[in-house]
Amino acid sequence: MQIADSPLARKLGSFVLLTDTELETLEALHRRRRRFVAGKDLVHQGQSDQSAYVLAKGWACSYKMLPGGTRQIVDFQIPGDFFGLRSILFRTSDHNVEPVTKIEASEILATDLLDAFQRAPRLATAVLWAASRDEAMVVEHLVSIGRRNGEERMAHFLLEMSARLMLVGQGDRTGFDCPLSQYLLADALGLSAVHVNRVLRTLRHDGLVTFQRGRVTFHNIDALAELAGFDATYLDHDGPLLR
């Protein structure tokens, strides 16, 4: 069995040991490489016949708009991540996706995905697993917003992003490059942008972490994890369950 080097194959392969047919079917999903500029939505809440994507380069975010004009960012996507899957399964999208930076992504049409599941049925189980992993992240995000204060939320968020980025070979224990503005952080963490600024100042003054000029630098990652109550098990790959 050959090793595929697409991020998607690597991710799914950690759950299901993929056969050659399955690998080929996966690779076929990567025709239709697209580029998008930052800030212009590529999946639209309420629209039908939207595609899903696998992100290859750059950062994006999924969010929902509220009647008052505010929004809540549900999730950030980094290279190797899926997005827009629900737009396929529900025919019409319940959320928006906006590139945070300029991005490159493979577009996956509804029929592509359903055909792939027909050709290689175990892929459906693998995608179910990947989607559940994403759901676990949303759940942890929910817990953060529901029960952690500003500092704890920020700490947890930065640690989670760091762990996710390290899984795809970006950043290290000292920190990571981060293209998010304080407005984006606010929309994600359920805070005001002003408060995000104050929270970052507090964490900086306490010698825990610095976020300046697009770079997150950890000064005391253990104290930060302690503050956040951070437990990365929900991100861990354990080795394939399906053989």
Partner DNA sequence: CGATGCTTTGAATATTTTCAATATTTGTGG
Partner DNA sequence: CCACAAATATTGAAAATATTCAAAGCATCG
Give the one entry of its own copies, DNA, none that residue 134 binds, where binding means its C-beta sits below a cut-off of 5 to 8 angstroms depending on kind: its own copies
Candidate residues 118, 183, 232, 241; the one interacting with DNA per rule CB under 7 A: 183
Contacts of 14 by beta carbon, 8 Å cutoff, 6+ apart? 237, 239, 240
Measured in Å, how far apart are the chain's first and last C-alpha atoms?
13
Say whether residue 190 binds DNA (CB under 7 A): yes
Q: Which residue(s) pair with 98 in the sheet?
A: 61
Say whether residue 170 binds DNA (CB under 7 A): no
Give the one entry of its own copies, DNA, none that residue 203 binds, where binding means its C-beta sits below a cut-off of 5 to 8 angstroms depending on kind: none
Q: How far is the CB of 8 from its own copies (least distance, A)?
A: 15
Of residues 40 through 99, those in contact with DNA by CB under 7 A are none
* Residue 32: closest CA among 133, 91, 111, 132: 111
Contacts of 216 by beta carbon, 8 Å cutoff, 6+ apart? 158, 161, 162, 175, 176, 177, 178, 209, 210
Among 29-37, 74-82, 129-137, 198-206, the segment contacting DNA (CB under 7 A): 198-206
Give the one entry of DNA, its own copies, none that residue 57 binds, where binding means its C-beta sits below a cut-off of 5 to 8 angstroms depending on kind: none
Provide the pairing of β-strand 82-83 with 209-212: unpaired
Binding region for DNA (CB under 7 A): 149-151, 181-183, 190-195, 197-198, 200-201, 212-214
